[in-house]
Structure 1
Amino acid sequence: MARKDDESAKADLGEDCRTDSGIELFKSISKDDDDMKAAPERSSGHSDAGKDKLYSVTEERVDSAYGSAFSMESLMEDCRLTDPEGAPSAQVTSGPQEEANLLATITDDGDTVLHLAIIHEALDLTQQLIDLFPKDVLDIQNNLYQTPLHLATYLNLSLVVRSLMQKKANVELQDQDGNTPLHVACEQGQIDCANEMIKEISTRQFTKVLKMQNWRGLTCLHLAALHKNYRLMKFLMKKGADLNVQEGTSGKTALHLAVELHDEVLVTLLLNKGANVDATMYNGCTPLHLAVGRQDAMIAHILCQSGADKMLRNMEDETALDLADGNDDILALFPFDDIQISGRSVVGVKF
């Protein structure tokens, strides 16, 4: 009988140790999952800046962890992984694999406690979890296919990005829009986060990520161009990005996009860095075709000054001049001997 009581006491002690380790908190998290569907609201003491950034790219996520019923202060207290002196807390009686699985328990939104800590910008807890988790847990994707690295980048938490990269977090995983974390950095203009990613990966892997397209066919360079982020564009160019890479839907290069945006600064930057002035889309259109077709005489002038071939034809058998549509400013860019009759150049024609 005494032995039975002793075994019962040991079992109770084991349960106490689990609670002290912070793992027991997941029971309460699971119980509160339904409450997470309340209206999104950040805990007091935090600004709304990070929340707004996250919602701008995950607006369909109604069940966001921002609406969780528990406070991050309470979560941090319950999930304290070390005692005040910095020594490890009581060890759980389960093996390492079971501990990792418990710590990676997910909510209905697919978020681990690391996702939640990053979303709420609980930096101390985030760092402790990164130190504790093995790489495979760091790369868990939630229901929107976002990894902790995606979220840290959205919220511009460059120190968290650094810690994740030092633990070899995967930079090639794509979210529901096909964006890698580096795509996110280029779309959101987070140059510090991009720099932290590049520091920790090989040139070969960086080149591979730069070539990856999201589900809209856009690479990192295209996203930076579309958002007119000149600083990031220069950063990517310095790191060896291919200026002539084509997006997947119509074959536009960054120069085509800059022309469509009527962005003279970006057009000039790309040309000065060696972008192909005569790069063609899948339909054969060059940047000059686009500039003339959009009646942008200034950009057409810049392209012509950079040596654009005015006689190249697209798949409709049209030169840029064919698209001038009587615009005198654009027609003035073409020399007299480039005049065409019925779409054909008269140069060299014998009458």
Structure 2
Amino acid sequence: MANSDDEKGKVDLSEDSQIDSGVYSFPSLNKDYQCIRTTEESNTEDNEGNSDKLDNTTGERLDSAYGSSSLTVDSLNEIFHNCKISEEPASEGTESSSEREVNLLTTITEDGDTILHLAIIHEETEFAHQLIELFPKDVLDIQNNLYQTPLHLATYLNLSLVVRSLLLKQASLDLQDQEGNTALHLACDQGRSECANEMTTNAPPRQLASVMEIQNWRGQTCLHIATQRRNLRMVKLLLKKGANLNVQDGTSGKTPLHMAVELHDMDLVKFLLNKGANVDATMFNGCTPLHLAVGRQDVAVALLLCQSGADQMLKNMEDETALDLADGNDNILALFPFDDIQISGQSVIGVKF
């Protein structure tokens, strides 16, 4: 992953930097800015009581270390509850309203978050909707220091209506976070079915088709992740929307069928086979799903694969057939035709000496 600051979606995080993203083109939109504090003012305030959003599973931060930001939770709560977007004209003789607008709407925190990122992090959905309507597309696609867009955060927090608003304003679905995940990858990983529905319904078809092919840094597409999470509902949705049933991951060449076999998930294996998955698809090392099933001593899955026409004589790069991996398991051996005379696993019936 490229680290240069001029990479797409990356912003200048210097103390005085601001993003001029067309906010000046909205002079008719004025706000009650008595609650606004600039980055410099916030730096002088007490950060005690700052509460972090944590991933309940890993304990990692979801909001790009928000606690270290120059904007505090208290200041944000004040902004969220007191600032209203209105169409009232600015009063004459007062401080320039447009200057105050820019303070709020274009401030980037030390963690690269815009006010829209922060509104979503704090689940202030009404305020987030207002900002989405105000912001041009380029601002909606700004990525923070973890390369998360507002769409990533809305998906992680399962804010499906915010996801819809972002997509209707043409927020990009193909931007990747620091793990290489698009927002749809996250939806598959976290089981956010409503968010996934919004993405597959409201994203432009060409962009959605492209996203289906994107691999994260572990080489996984959205379909691989949904399969790995054993989320049959998500797998069905992705296939309905055009995901490649036999797509290989970028690290080992596994297809979703290989993964379902590894998971001993009979329902997923049956579903994928019924949808036309290639029963003899090979990984980069030449292993077929049958190799994996036999190697894991999974009689039921191995039987299903054989009944679905799996070629029992295919060899992997170690020159092994699935039978060679049976390891003396009589139940597995019973699935394969037996010849009285074999040399190195090859039948010698009919061979002339």
Percent identity, aligned pairs only, is 60
Distance 2:46 2:143 in 1: 18
Out of 113, 119, 141, the position equivalent to 1:111 is 113
Of 42, 54, 62 in structure 2, the residue corresponding to residue 32 of structure 1 is 42
Q: Give the TM-score taking structure 2 as reference length.
A: 0.81
Q: Which residue number corresponds to residue 225 of structure 2?
A: 223
Contact 2:90 2:97 in 1 (8 A): no
Residue 177 of structure 1 corresponds to which residue in structure 2? 179
Give 1:196's match in structure 2, choosing from 170, 186, 198: 198
- 1:300 Cα deviation (Å)? 0.6
CA deviation after TM superposition for structure 1 residue 88, in Å: 4.1
Shift, 1:350, TM fit = 3.3
| Correspondence for 2:85 among 81, 84, 87 | 81
Partners of 1:313 and 1:102 in 2: CA distance: 63
- CA distance in 2 between counterparts of 1:338 and 1:89 reads 94
In 2, Cα distance between equivalents of 1:249 and 1:79: 49
Distance 2:229 2:45 in 1: 37
The CA deviation string for residues 233-264 of structure 1, in whole angstroms up to 9 with x for no partner, is 11111112111000000100001111111111
CA distance in 1, matches of 2:326, 2:57: 43
Q: 3-state SS of the aligned residue for 2:37?
A: helix
With over 3 angstroms needed to count, the CA separation of the structure-2 counterparts of 1:126 and 1:171, relative to structure 1, is same
Task: Look up the match of 1:186.
Answer: 188
1:303 positional shift: 0.7
Compute the displacement of 1:94 (Å). 7.4
- Mapping for residues 75-154 of structure 1, pairs under 5 Å: 75-82=79-86, 87-88=87-88, 90=90, 93=96, 103-154=105-156
Give the drift of 1:333.
0.4
Whole-angstrom distance in 1 between the partners of 2:117 and 2:307? 51
Instruction: Evaluate the alpha carbon distance shift between residue 318 and residue 338 of structure 1 in structure 2; reply closer, same or farther with a 3 A threshold.
Output: farther
**1:7 is matched with which residue?**
none
The residue type equivalent to 2:332 in the other structure is I
Distance between the aligned counterparts of 2:54 and 2:349, measured in 1?
A: 59
CA gap 1:242/1:174 in 2 versus in 1, 3 angstroms: same
Higher helix share: 1
Structure 1 CA distance, aligned partners of 2:330 and 2:342?
Answer: 15
Q: Against the structure 1 CA distance between its residues 30 and 141, is the aligned structure 2 distance closer, same or farther, given a 3 Å change threshold?
A: farther
Q: Distance in 2 between matches of 1:238 and 1:52?
A: 34
**Equivalent residue letter for 1:76:** F
Match of 1:242 among 229, 241, 244: 244
- 1:222 and 1:254 in contact (8 A); partners too: yes
Equivalent residue runs for 1:316-335 within 5 Å:
316-335=318-337
| Change in 2 beyond 3 A, CA 1:21/1:316 | same
Q: TM-score, normalised to structure 1's length?
A: 0.82
AA of the residue aligned to 1:134: P
State the partner residue of 2:13: none
How far 1:23 moved relative to its partner?
Answer: 5.9
Q: CA RMSD in A?
A: 3.1
Report 1 or 2 for greater relative contact order, CA contacts < 8 Å, sequence distance ≥ 6: 2
Whichever residue aligns with residue 337 of structure 2, its letter is P
Is 2:157 aligned against 1:155?
yes
- Pair 1:81–1:55, CA change in 2 (3 A): farther
Contact kept? 1:158, 1:192, Cα under 8 Å: yes
The one-letter code sitting in structure 2 at the alignment partner of 1:250 is S
Does the CA contact (< 8 Å) of 1:224 and 1:233 recur in 2?
A: yes
Count matched residues. 322
Give the superposition deviation at 1:197.
Answer: 1.2
| Matched position secondary structure for 2:85 | coil
**Deviation (angstroms), 1:79:** 2.7
Q: After superposing the two structures, state which structure 1 stretch, 259-268 or 155-164, moved more.
A: 259-268
State the Cα deviation string for residues 178-201 of structure 1 (Å, max 9, x = none). 000111111111111111112222
Q: Distance in 2 between matches of 1:36 and 1:325?
A: 66
Aligned counterparts, 1:303-342, within 5 A:
303-337=305-339, 340-342=342-344
From 45, 51, 54, the equivalent of 1:41 is 51
Equivalent residue number for residue 15 of structure 2: none
| Inter-CA distance 309–273: structure 2 relative to 1 (3 Å threshold) | same
Q: In the aligned structure 2, how far is the partner of 1:332 from the partner of 1:284?
A: 23
- 1:167 aligns to what? 169
> What stretches of structure 2 of length at least 5 have no aligned partner?
1-26
Distance 1:39 1:262, change over 3 A: farther
Aligned to 1:3: none
Partner of 2:9: none
* Alpha-carbon distance between aligned partners in 1 of 2:205 and 2:47, rounded to the nearest angstrom: 42
Distance 2:88 2:181 in 1: 37
Q: Which amino acid aligns with 1:90?
A: A
Deviation at 1:57, TM superposition (A): 8.3
Distance 1:145 1:57 in 2: 19
AA matched with 2:227: A
- CA offsets per residue over residues 148-205 of structure 1, 9 Å max, x none? 0000000111100000000000101000000001111111111111111122223222
Q: Secondary structure at the match of 2:219?
A: coil
Secondary structure (helix, strand or coil) at the match of 1:70 reads helix
Matched-pair contact (CA < 8 Å) for 1:33–1:107: no
Q: Which residue of 1 aligns with 2:266?
A: 264
